Amino acid sequence: MLKRNKISKIGIGTWGIGGLVERNLQNNDKKQINALTHSFNRGINFIEINNWYAQGYSMELIKKAIDRADIGREDLFIVYSVYGYDLKRFNEIEMEINKFFNVFETDYIDSLEFLQKDFKKFGFEKVVNLINKHLAKKTTRCVSISNASLDFIKRCQDIFGKKLFSHETHYSFEIREIEKLGILDFNLKNNIKSVIFQPLRRNRTAQRKWPLLVKLSKKYKKTQNQIVLNWLIARGLLPIIKSDNIKHIDENLAALNFNLKKSDLKLLDNFKVKNYQDVVLSWFNNEDPEAVTIDQLPNTFDEMYPKN
């Protein structure tokens, strides 16, 4: 298994590869395979994969890219995330995991991930026992959780200890709910990697042209996205990004080639959206009708705070 200190500082997100929820029959497979291959060859070795995206077709495209890239299975850190959206029975989880093994011609997962709400859906003890079985067989080396509350992270840490590798969630320049809840600080102190999806809000952060980002972009002669990525990485976070544009991939990686001054990092740390209202978060989709699930925060932000 790839050692923790060898994991790239930027990872690959896979939402949109091969389609969205359903496979896109008009998808530009060649372009996406080329972009993934380029990412691997440029040193990005962390990727989050699941069978739900594009009805499993995303996995096939990723495997083709790995086969074409100058990289071996042992040089990759793969988080395989089980999404329970389409799974009706508990035994379907094993079928899904076995599909991953078959597609990627491997006998292990670097970290097996479950959403907090799926622990509830299938039964906490059942999911824990399944994970422990794979840990014992070494068919997974670590455990990851996604979109979890602080109490739930602590509960998993009590059970899995140092095997709890990561927590995947959203954090960005504008949206900092998990920091206010103490989740970021707890993860950092306990060596749990915070994997950040939509760190750039699919370029919507840059489109807002926040004065601070514009100012720092001019000062360092970098793009706004590079400023944000550099800041997130400086905070010890692991942003994952999906791009099928090689120019954008290289731009993202160039965020690693400079250092923000401490005073500027502090400005970024202290930034607050004017008149920002704290959000009531739901961890299970069926609680307070006024609450927002953490996975929808980056998408609903622009509705709550329209551009001036």
Give tens-digit pLDDT for 88-115: 999 999 999 999 999 999 999 999 999 9
The Cα 15–Cα 8 span in angstroms is 19
Higher pLDDT, 166 or 305: 166
Higher pLDDT, 306 or 37: 37
Inform me whether the pLDDT recorded for 77 exceeds 70.
Answer: yes
Task: Answer for the pair 252, 243: CB distance below 8 angstroms, yes or no.
Answer: yes
> How open is the CA angle 275-233-70, to the nearest 5 degrees?
135
Kindly report, residue by residue over 129-174, the tens digit of the pLDDT: 999 999 999 999 999 999 999 999 999 999 999 999 999 999 999 9
Q: Where are the alpha helices (DSSP H) in the chain?
A: 29-41, 57-68, 92-104, 116-122, 124-137, 150-160, 177-180, 183-189, 204-208, 211-220, 224-234, 246-253, 262-270, 297-304
Kindly report, residue by residue over 19-29, the tens digit of the pLDDT: 999 999 999 99
Statement: 4-304 belongs to CATH 3.20.20.100: yes
Quote the pTM value: 0.96
User: Considering only CA atoms, which of 97, 40, 98 is closest in space to residue 65?
Assistant: 40
In order of 94, 108, 137, 138, 274, the CA distances from 134 in angstroms are 10, 9, 5, 6, 47
Q: How many CA atoms lie within 13 A of 279 on its CB side?
A: 22
What is the band of 285 on the pLDDT scale with cuts at 50, 70, 90?
Answer: low
Question: Which range (55-69, 120-134, 222-236, 288-302) has the least confidence?
Answer: 288-302
CB burial of residue 292 (10 Å; 0-12, 13-18, 19+): middle
Give residue 144's identity as a one-letter amino acid code.
S
pLDDT number for residue 56 = 95
Q: Which two tokens stand for residue 144?
A: 């990851």
Q: How many CA atoms lie within 13 A of 90 on its CB side?
A: 13
Inform me whether the pLDDT recorded for 295 exceeds 90.
Answer: no
Residue owning tokens 């989880």: 93
